[in-house]
């Protein structure tokens, strides 16, 4: 097993950190204790610089290599937040906070990056600077964006950025990624159709928003079927449909529906928004009603740059015998995408073995994946910024 021996030695410590974080999950930007734990560990390792409070509760730290002849700076990122899920994993180190759980393995990501930081601060076998990025609010709060807006990339001179995520279903220690789109964008829309309520027996005196809304739901599927280039992937789902009436003999005055658009194609994203607005507004008008479309931009497509994906794969192959460089993209969204919009970089999946998917109450992070993740970060740094290459 070509993981670094040092990480095999450190696995017990890193696993203990991971399980401590697992017992104390925090949500969104409210990751004060987690961030404090990260800062404490980083101080113990003797990193060169620690700056908390970036992107509200994110932590940025710096480790300088033995030399710096080329001025290279690499960012390594982990997410710290948990989910509002009641844990049902049955592990003996389960969440101590009812209704909160590290069900996406961000406790594992944080512990892995801490492990890598410990090693890099101890060895410093690289020519350049490593910037450690511990971000809050990955789960729907756009913490990655908040850190970027706080000047993360420019302030620390980050030139390229890398991150990993555990992946249930992929064997433990296996890696998978691809050049280009890896995770989808996720936007939300709400459509409010206003007509004229009335008696169910007198439709001619009303404008039936249930009928109009239903026509809009059907017509929206033509966006994917008829507007999007068929070689691109777009999913459009209407998830809720609510009338303002609860009675069988009333024509609803107003209908509200909410949905989501996910795509791996940044162009398709803009097209979908434009078509949803047109279809909703014009369909409503055709029936004498009005539709208002509220569009909420979510996470962008996570797009890996070609060159950096090459480095990510090279490091993965040095660490593991199971590396897939042409993984299929997946439709969840990830806010590392905001960092990849600012700098080239790569995101990689690390196998978590068999078991429930992320966001499931019985999900369990696989601690045996830790040395692979740590070794990947270390290989990446030492290969991308080799000593004596100046
Ligand atoms: Ni996650």
195, part of any domain: yes
Residues 327, 373 share a domain: yes
Asked if 107 and 21 count as a contact pair (C-beta separation under 8 A), the reply is yes
Q: Ligand 1 centre from 104 Cα, in Å?
A: 5
Q: Ligand 1 centre from 317 Cα, in Å?
A: 23
Residues 164, 25 share a domain: yes
Residues 270, 149 share a domain: no
Q: Ligand 1 centre from 386 Cα, in Å?
A: 31
Q: Ligand 1 centre from 83 Cα, in Å?
A: 9
82, part of any domain: yes
Average pLDDT of the chain, as a whole number:
96
Q: Ligand 1 centre from 358 Cα, in Å?
A: 7
Q: What is the pLDDT of residue 281?
A: 98
Q: Ligand 1 centre from 127 Cα, in Å?
A: 31
Q: Ligand 1 centre from 150 Cα, in Å?
A: 22
Q: Which of 265, 299, 333 is the last residue of a domain?
A: 299
Q: Ligand 1 centre from 105 Cα, in Å?
A: 6
314, part of any domain: yes
Q: Ligand 1 centre from 295 Cα, in Å?
A: 24
Residues 276, 348 share a domain: no
Q: Ligand 1 centre from 288 Cα, in Å?
A: 44
- Strand order of the β-sheet with 160-167 is 49-54, 58-64, 129-135, 73-79, 160-167, 345-351, 175-176, 323-324
11, part of any domain: yes
Residues 40, 155 share a domain: yes
Q: What is the pLDDT of residue 2?
A: 62
Residues 143, 265 share a domain: no
Query: Mind giving me the DSSP string for 262-327?
Result: EES-HHHHHHHHHHHHHHHHHHHHHTT-EEEEEEEEEE--EEE-HHHHHHHHHHHHHH-S-EETTP
Residues of the chain short of pLDDT 50, as ranges, are: 1, 390
389, part of any domain: no
Residues 315, 200 share a domain: no
Residues 147, 47 share a domain: yes
Q: What is the CA radius of gyration of the chain?
A: 24
Q: Ligand 1 centre from 117 Cα, in Å?
A: 20
390, part of any domain: no
Among 125, 140, 134, residue whose Cα is nearest residue 38: 134
Q: Ligand 1 centre from 165 Cα, in Å?
A: 7
Q: Ligand 1 centre from 331 Cα, in Å?
A: 13
Residues 205, 156 share a domain: no
Q: What is the pLDDT of residue 389?
A: 53
Helices (H), 178-257: 209-222
Residues 120, 49 share a domain: yes
Asked if 162 and 78 count as a contact pair (C-beta separation under 8 A), the reply is no
Q: Ligand 1 centre from 342 Cα, in Å?
A: 20
Q: Ligand 1 centre from 167 Cα, in Å?
A: 9
347, part of any domain: yes
CA distance 175 to 55: 29
Domain extent for 224: 185-299
Q: Ligand 1 centre from 299 Cα, in Å?
A: 13
Asked if 126 and 72 count as a contact pair (C-beta separation under 8 A), the reply is no
Q: Tokens 């004596």 correspond to what residue?
A: 388
Domain total in the chain: 2
Q: What is the pLDDT of residue 1?
A: 42
Q: What percent of the chain has pLDDT over 90?
A: 94
Q: CATH number of the domain at 278, please.
A: 3.30.70.360
Q: Ligand 1 centre from 102 Cα, in Å?
A: 9
Q: What is the pLDDT of residue 91?
A: 97
């Amino acid at each position: 097993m070509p993981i670094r021996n040092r990480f095999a030695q450190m696995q017990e410590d890193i696993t203990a950190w991971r399980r401590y974080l697992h017992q104390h999950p925090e949500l969104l930007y409210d990751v004060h204790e987690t961030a404090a734990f990260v800062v404490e560990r980083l101080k113990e390792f003797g990193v060169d610089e620690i700056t908390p409070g970036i992107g509200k509760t994110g932590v940025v730290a710096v480790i300088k290599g033995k030399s710096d002849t080329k001025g290279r700076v690499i960012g390594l990122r982990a997410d710290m937040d948990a989910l509002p899920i009641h844990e049902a994993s049955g592990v003996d180190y389960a969440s101590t906070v009812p209704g909160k759980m590290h069900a996406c393995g961000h406790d594992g990501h944080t512990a892995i990056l801490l492990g890598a930081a410990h090693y890099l601060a101890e060895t410093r076998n690289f020519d350049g600077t490593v910037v450690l990025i511990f971000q809050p609010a990955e789960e729907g709060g756009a913490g990655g964006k908040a850190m970027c807006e706080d000047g993360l990339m420019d302030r620390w001179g980050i030139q390229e950025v890398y991150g990993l995520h555990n992946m249930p279903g992929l064997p433990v220690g296996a890696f998978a990624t691809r050049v280009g789109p890896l995770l989808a964008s996720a936007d939300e829309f709400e459509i409010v159709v206003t007509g004229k309520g009335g008696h169910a027996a007198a439709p001619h005196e009303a404008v039936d928003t249930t009928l109009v809304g239903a026509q809009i739901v059907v017509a929206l599927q033509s966006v994917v079927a008829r507007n999007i280039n068929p070689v691109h992937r777009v999913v459009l789902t209407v998830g809720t449909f609510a009338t303002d009436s609860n009675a069988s003999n009333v024509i609803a005055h107003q209908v509200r529906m909410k949905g989501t658009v996910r795509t791996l194609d940044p162009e398709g994203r803009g097209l979908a928004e434009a078509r949803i607005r047109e279809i909703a507004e014009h369909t409503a008008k055709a029936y004498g009603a009005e539709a208002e479309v509220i569009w909420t931009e979510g996470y962008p497509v996570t797009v890996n740059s070609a060159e950096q994906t090459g480095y990510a794969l090279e490091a993965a192959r040095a660490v593991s015998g199971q590396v897939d460089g042409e993984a299929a993209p997946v439709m969840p969204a990830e806010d590392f995408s905001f960092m990849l919009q600012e700098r080239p970089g790569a995101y990689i999946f690390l196998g978590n073995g068999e078991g429930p998917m992320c966001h499931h109450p019985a999900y369990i992070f696989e601690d045996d994946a830790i040395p692979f993740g740590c070794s990947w970060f270390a290989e990446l740094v030492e290969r991308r910024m080799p000593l004596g290459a100046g």
